[in-house]
Amino acid sequence: MNDSNLNKDNAVQVRELINKKRTTRSFSTIVEKAIPILLFLIAMISLLTTIGILFTLLTETIHFFSRVSIIEFFTGTLLKPLSQNPEFGILPLISGTIISSVIAMLVAGPIGMMTAIYLSEYATDRVRKTLKPLLELLAGIPTIVYGFFAFTFVTPLLRDFIPGLEATNVLSPGIVMGIMIIPMIASLSEDAMSSVPNAMREGALALGATKLEVTFRVIVPAALSGIIASFVLGISRAIGETMILTIASGSSKNFTLDVTQSMQTMTAYIVEVSGGDAPAGSTIYYSLYAVAMTLFCFTLLMNIVARYVSRKFREEY
């Protein structure tokens, strides 16, 4: 009798375990099916956001070009949106953007590249672990701080050497932008060079090459795709910079190559127009979106070039 009851209890426990296992498996199956859907929806957020931004820019840009000739917009050298006879030529903004970006890259390119070479090939592990985080602290400084640094320190300093330098100019913010971009170029280039196998270094050294020859004839060519991509991303960062140029470069819409004069970039113009002076529905209001669309095309082109270069010169080991 006791054995019979014991068998019944065991059978009940086994059934409970089976039912519990089925319930757990059913819940796990639901979770397994739901997780990919959830992850897909999260991944779609960035795509949908991009589509929404692009749709807004396109629709408002079309409104602008229904009032202003597209030829006048891209070939005009005068930008006077608030004058009695407004002009909407974007060339002054494009020239200001390109000149400031070129100045920034002339500063950031050599310094960032030499820093990356030192960290990758010459620095000890202790120095690298100390110096690289300190270098990357520059990337954490707010851009508005860089802007005031350019306006209150760099410009007065440069005026001691360049007497004709205006209080607001494109030279000092371009230099400070270059300082801001150095960590990006140095860090990405150093990562690309560090990923080159040590066997290539050891083989070149074994053949009698010097450390400098190994660096510039073996390591840099092998890491070229990552280095070029870092430069292109640096240019994209310079093109999209806003606060440094808004504060230190001024709002003069000059179409000139003189870096001592005040210029305005596309991002600075967007800040100026969105400050509240342009009533909604006006031509100047829609010009904000036309300039933003042009800036979007610039940065998109830079990203496409970066991806193409990375794939074109990628080395696999």
pLDDT tens per residue, range 52-66: 888 888 888 888 888
* DSSP string covering 213-275: HHIIIIIHHHTHHHHHHHHHHHHHHHHT--HHHHHHT-S-----S-TTS----HHHHHHHHTT
User: Is residue 317 scored above 70 in pLDDT?
Assistant: no
Q: Is 289 exposed, middle or buried (0-12, 13-18, 19+ CB in 10 A)?
A: buried
C-alpha distances in Å from residue 202, one per residue of 121, 126, 169, 207, 315: 12, 21, 49, 9, 18
* Structure token pair of residue 114: 């030499």
Residue 279 pLDDT class (50, 70, 90 cuts) = confident
Q: Which of 204-218, 246-260, 277-291, 301-315 has the lowest mean pLDDT?
A: 301-315
More confident residue, 241 or 110: 110
Q: Which of 13-17, 96-100, 105-109 has the lowest mean pLDDT?
A: 13-17
Residue 21 pLDDT class (50, 70, 90 cuts) = low
pLDDT tens per residue, range 133-167: 888 787 788 888 888 898 889 888 988 888 888 88
**Mean of per-residue pLDDT scores for the chain:** 82
User: Is residue 37 scored above 70 in pLDDT?
Assistant: yes
d(CA 168, CA 208): 53
Q: According to the model, what pLDDT value does residue 175 have?
A: 92
* Region for residue 208 given its phi and psi (left: phi exceeds 0; alpha: psi -120 to 50; beta: otherwise): left
Q: According to the model, what pLDDT value does residue 106 have?
A: 92
Percentage of residues in the chain with pLDDT exceeding 90?
7
Percentage of residues in the chain with pLDDT exceeding 70?
89
Q: Is 12 exposed, middle or buried (0-12, 13-18, 19+ CB in 10 A)?
A: exposed
Q: Specify the CATH number for 74-312; select among 3.20.20.80, 1.10.287.130, 1.10.3720.10, 3.40.50.720.
A: 1.10.3720.10
d(CA 166, CA 183): 29
Cβ(143)–Cβ(180) below 8 Å: yes
Tell me what the mean pLDDT of segment 204-233 comes to.
84
Angle between helices 91-117 and 224-239 (to 10 degrees): 140
User: Is residue 69 scored above 60 in pLDDT?
Assistant: yes
User: Is residue 266 scored above 60 in pLDDT?
Assistant: yes
